Copies of this chain bind each other. A is one copy, B any other.
């Protein structure tokens, strides 16, 4: 639950909380966003020790108590679903274009029972005239971290954040100028778990492992089918997960990979077309997120002749540090 990762970061300056739906992660941070210590708990906002405000108080005290006992005056920031309508306090979405200074200007603020103030990062809304609105909460903090740690991206980049709700985020001059959400991960999960498509999916027999080459071939088959698809075809292509299984052309062991390829391929088809439409030359494309998922996206992108400029891991701690700095609270500490 704890691990010293950066003694060079010196004395603690900040407690940063990445507080999502299903987990709470805390970072004890020193100068230059160095991580001195970290702790995690399962107290996501939908899994608090008790309902409502007291639940947030208790989860916070349980995670950060050991740090605060030693450094009682450390400032605290939090980002993620903790700032949603179901969170500790709602920090309403700020509109695009938005940079970390804008996030700081619209920080939410909660005061604990013992008088401590915590600043909470707002989400971001993109609300173009010609399309439905889109929202993010948590990703804006990861982006702030990615741009601070990789200054070359700040001028112009497209950041893809694969996941339950993948985000495609356009960056210009350090600001989030536009973004699109794709429900790729959630559609994969519900179709696998709750639709007929899961019925033919199998797992390797006890003591054996999946064949990586067969899984990769099925994944690529899905990506290529999606790449050649036209508008509306996904609802038809999904059924091929069943028919390729029924006719034994794909083993039940790789139907998940094929479905994953179909869905990621659909996301890339749409996302890349939109990028190409919005500018003559593609911006550098960066992937942020879980290693394994980013690798799948990189594999799929190769089939579109696209190479990501970088794959970044968890940039949330760095982003929370930049957010705290932008609020001015680190000067006061």
Contacts and interface: CB of A to CB of B under 8 A. Distances in A.
Interface of A: 125, 127, 132-135, 165, 180-184, 186-187, 190-191, 193-196, 225-226, 229-240, 243-244, 246-247, 249, 263, 265-271, 273
26 contacts: A132-B225, A132-B244, A133-B243, A133-B244, A133-B247, A135-B243, A181-B236, A181-B239, A182-B235, A183-B236, A183-B238, A186-B196, A187-B235, A187-B238, A190-B194, A226-B232, A231-B231, A231-B233, A231-B269, A232-B268, A232-B270, A232-B273, A233-B270, A234-B266, A235-B263, A235-B270
Given A132-B244, A133-B244, A244-B133, A235 B195 contact: no
Nearest to A191: B190
A191 to B, nearest CB: 7
A249 B133 CA distance: 10
Nearest to A226: B232
A231 B236 CA distance: 13
Nearest to A164: B196
A267 B232 contact: yes
Main SS class of interface, A: helix
A46 to B, nearest CB: 12
Contacts of A187: 191, 195, 235, 238
Nearest to A243: B133
A266 B236 CA distance: 10
B235 A232 contact: no
Contacts of A190: 190-191, 194-195
A230 B267 CA distance: 11
Nearest to A244: B132
- Give me the 6 closest cross-chain CB pairs, A-B, nearest first: A232-B270, A232-B269, A132-B240, A232-B266, A182-B235, A181-B239
Contact of A134 (B125, B186, B233, B243): B243
A236 B182 contact: yes
Nearest to A237: B132
A273 B239 contact: no
Contacts of A249: 132-133
